[in-house]
Structure formats: structure tokens, C-alpha cells
Structure 1
Amino acid sequence: MKVELFVPCFIDQIYPSTAFNTIKILERAGCEVIYNPAQTCCGQPAYNAGYWEEARQVGKKFLTDFSADTCIVSPSASCTGMVKGGYSDLFAGTSDLQHCKNIQSNIIELSDFLVNILDKTYFGAEFVGTAVYHDSCSALRECKIKEEPRILLSHVEGLELLTLKDNETCCGFGGTFATKFEGISSAMAEQKINHALAVHAEYIISTDASCLMQLQAYIDKHQLPIKTIHLVDVLTTGWANI
């Protein structure tokens, strides 16, 4: 199956290895991966800050960077949710609306794609440790993803997945929220991490690099004995021949 890869800004700039690992797992799943190096942001930061005209300009570029007849896969529920939902606001009543709808119907988050489109859940991963899975707001509410990452993680040898208290509560990032309301944002991150530490988790796993960046910053600042890691980086660890 031929797929186009959308690499969000956070992953491109801060977690590039996650992008390369996304290619690895898609290829192992039997996909031919196409990457357009001209791609940039989906426009979510400007959209969430209320700068819709600027977000629309970025979004128009996104619509030209990707085709309307190929599946677009992204290792980010947040950016996938932006295209699926936010673009309906940005392009309502414009000449780009139909093309936008075609793109919206084709874009899908990675775990959703692997489990529900390809029906592949085992990739030979080995990751020894205890972990909790953090449901990002975008994954739950915009992409309707909950069980898919857990199904994939259940097939990882050596990984013990623990239950995280108040799992559906936000980590406190929320884009510009984290800078405009630093105190509240930090307290939300602290609560999430304390819940993970309470069950003796060594890792916090998620589908969203933005959540991981938020939580890892708090962990680093307070030198806490826990780490964050993206779902795809877990799924591509310890590979042996299948």
C-alpha cells in the first residue's frame, strides 16, 4: 500500500528519530512510504491562538503538499486532528473546500492506521520496563483513538503497561496555553507525572510529541526518575527478524 508521510513540526525539530522510526514501521507493515520534503506545518499553532487567516495560509500549503487520493499517515493525533477538524473552519465557503474534504478523509494517525486499516498489531518489538500510556486530548476527542495504542503495546515483549489514574486529564500543554498560563500548565504536568510515579512507571508513552515535550520538560527540571517516549519509538525497539 502506498502512503504519504506527514511529519509534524515538533517531531521534525525535536524528535527526528521518531520520524525515521515511523518510516521503518510503515515499511515493515508492507507500505511504500512517500515523503514530500517541501511539507511544513499544518497551521495548528496559529489556529489555536486565534490567527485564522495566517493558519489558512499555512493550511493552503498543506493542501498542495499532499495528494487527495493517497492515504496520509502521521505519528501525531494532534496534527491529524487539526486537519480533520480545524480545516473545516478554515476552508468553509472557500474554493478549496472540496479538496480539503478529500484530504481530511485520507489523513489518519499512525496507530489508527496500523490497527484499523492494515490490521497489523505485532512488529517484533522488545521493550523491557514498566510504563503508563497517556491519552492525549487530541487522540481521544478529535481522532477517537483509545484502544489502538494499547493493542499495539500489548504485543511488545517485556513491556508491562500499568493503569494511570485520571488518564483522560490533559497534560497541561495545549499549545500557547503552556506559555500564557504557565503555573496552571505546570501543575497539570506535575499531577500527570505524580500519577505515573505512584504506580512505579519507568516510562510515559503517548501518540503526541507535544505532550511528551511538556512532560519531559517538567521531568528534567525536577530530575525525576521517569522518561517519556513516543509510541512509535517503543514499537521499533529491539527488533528481531520476523
Structure 2
Amino acid sequence: MKVSLFTTCLGEMFYVDVLKDVTEILERLGCEVDVPEGQICCGQPAYNSGYAKDTKGPAKQMIKAFENSEYIVCPSGSCAAMFHEYPDFFADEPEWQERAKNIAEKTYEFTQFIVRVLGVVDVGAEYHARATLHTSCHMTRLLGERDSHYTLLKHVKGLDLVPLPNNYDCCGFGGTFSVKMFPISEQMVDEKIRHIEETDAEVLIGADASCLMNIGGRMKRLGKPVKVLHIAQVLNSHQTEGDERYADESRKSTVL
């Protein structure tokens, strides 16, 4: 099975190690992974800021870049959901709308692809820690994926996964929202952090780099000791009990 990796802007700039983890996991599961040239920003920042017309250019470029892919996998529910928005952009351009539908139908968030397409629920990971999971708004509400990340984490040996109170609440990032509405965004992320602390978790796990950067950055500024990891870092871990080497490397690789 051939898989094209949609790397995302944040992945390329801040979370390269996460892209490596995603690739290694997919290859272990029998996938042939490539990274199509020509991929750029999916246009989400402009679209979320109300500039729908300006999103057409980036959307067309991304459609051309991934058009020949068998499957498209993205380590971000937010960016994967953006591909599913593309058909609506081209209601007045039937040819591009059909091409956009083709892209949307074969695009999956990373954990969604593993569970829904590959039919795998246990990737053989081992990570000993008490952790909680932040579920991002775009992944659950727009992409409609609410279970795959939980399914995979429940099979990680040694992981004590505890529920996050009010996990459905937004972390306050929202792309440009966190810049334009900073005072509100700050209150939202502070509330999210209070709920994280209620769990006594050592590790916060998420599937969207944007949310992790927002929450992790705020916790770092507040001096909170919770580690912040992308779900791929946990699923690619083989840390045995008492072995902190992978945890140390994960902490270094997560840029906040």
C-alpha cells in the first residue's frame, strides 16, 4: 500500500521528529511512504481568517501535488480536515471540484488511517507513564474522528491513560484566533491546563501539533512540569519501565 505524507507547515518547521515517527510506524505496518514534491501550506490560515477566495490558489497546488497518491496521511486532524473542505471551494468550477473530491476521499489523519484503513489497533508500542489526551476541535468536529487515537493509546503497554475533564473544550489556539483574540485565547488555554492538572498526568498527548504548541508553550511559561508529546511519539516508543531515554529524547524534540 502506497501512502503519501502530508507534512504540514508546523510539521516541517517544528515537528520534524514527529514526521519521522509517523513514517517509521507506517513503514512497519507495511506501507510504502513518499513525500510528494510541490506540497505547500494547505491554505487553512487564510480560510479560517475569512479569505476563502485566496485559499483557492493553495488548494489547487495541493490537489496537483497529491492527485496521483493512493492514500494521503497527515499527522494533524486540523490539516487533514482542510482537504475535506476543498470540494466546497470549487462549487463554480466543476472540473476542480471533482479533483478536490478525489483528494478528500483518500485523505486521513494519521491514527484514523491506521485504525480505519489498515485495521490495526495495536502498533506494539510501550510507554510507561500516566497520561491524558487532548482531542482537537478540528479532528473531532470537522473530520469527525473521535475514537482512533483512544483505540491506539489503550493498547500501548504501560500507558495509564486517564480521562481529561471537559476534553471537548477548545484549547484556545484556533489558528489566527490566538493572535487576534489573545486575551480570550489565554483564558481558554489556562482553563485547559487546569483540567490537565486535575488528572495528575505526567504527559499530555495530542494529535495536532498546533494545539500541542499552544498548550505546551503556555505550560512552559507557567513552569508546569507536564511533558507534551504528539501521539506518534508515543506510538513509536518502545520505552520499557524504568527506561527514560526515549522520554528524554521526546522532550528535546518537541519544540514549544
Q: 2:69, 2:24 → 1: CA distance?
A: 23
* TM-score calculated relative to the size of structure 2: 0.90
Q: Which residue of 2 aligns with 1:80?
A: 80
How many residues of Structure 1 are paired with residues of Structure 2 in the alignment? 239
Matched with 1:198 is: 198
1:36-64 deviation per Cα after TM superposition (whole angstroms, max 9, x unaligned): 13311111001111122221111111011
Deviation at 1:111, TM superposition (A): 0.8
Q: 1:147 & 1:231 partners in 2: Cα distance?
A: 13
**TM-score where L is the length of structure 1:** 0.95
User: Are 1:109 and 2:116 an aligned pair?
Assistant: no
Q: Structure 1 residue 89: deviation in Å? A: 2.9
- Counterpart of 2:90 in structure 1 is 91
Aligned partners of 1:69 and 1:102 also within 8 Å: no
Runs of 5+ unmatched residues, structure 1: none
Q: Residue 100 of structure 2 aligns to which amino acid in structure 1?
A: C
- Superposed CA RMSD in Å reads 1.3
How far apart, in 1, do the equivalents of 2:12 and 2:155 lie? 27
Would you say the 8 A contact 1:171–1:215 is kept in 2? yes
**Where does 1:204-219 land on structure 2 (aligned, <5 Å)?**
204-219=204-219
Distance in 1 (alpha carbons) for counterparts of 2:239 and 2:67: 32
Deviation at 1:207, TM superposition (A): 1.0
What amino acid is aligned across from residue 137 of structure 1 in structure 2? C
Q: Can you list the C-alpha shifts for 1:75-115, whole angstroms capped at 9, x where unaligned?
A: 11000111102x13322221311111101111111111101
- 5 Å-filtered alignment, 1:2-151, equals 2-68=2-68, 70-85=70-85, 87-94=86-93, 95-151=95-151
SS at the partner of 2:112?
helix
CA contact (8 A) 2:3 2:69 kept: no
Q: Partners of 1:182 and 1:54 in 2: how far apart? A: 24
- For residues 189-213 of structure 1, what are the alpha-carbon distances to aligned partners after superposition, in whole Å with 9 as ceiling and x for unaligned? 1111111111101111111000001
Q: Any conservation in 2 of the 1:36–1:65 contact (CA below 8 Å)?
A: yes
Please say if residues 131 and 161 of structure 2, whose CA atoms lie closer than 8 Å, have aligned partners that are also in contact. yes
Q: 1:151 to 1:18 in 2, by over 3 A?
A: same
Equivalent residue for 2:181? 181
CA deviations on 1:164-206 (whole Å, 9 max, x unpaired) are 1101010000001001111111111111111111110111111
Q: Contact conserved, 1:68 with 1:102, CA < 8 A, in 2?
A: no
Distance 1:146 1:25 in 2: 21
Distance change (3 Å), C-alpha of 1:221 and 1:239: closer
Question: Is the Cα–Cα contact under 8 Å of residues 81 and 139 in structure 1 kept in the other structure?
Answer: yes
Check if 1:159 corresponds to 2:159. yes
| Displacement after TM superposition at 1:239 (Å) | 6.7
Gap runs ≥5 in structure 2: 241-256
- Go from structure 1 to structure 2 and tell me whether the alpha carbon gap of 1:92 and 1:60 turns closer, same or farther (over 3 Å shift): same
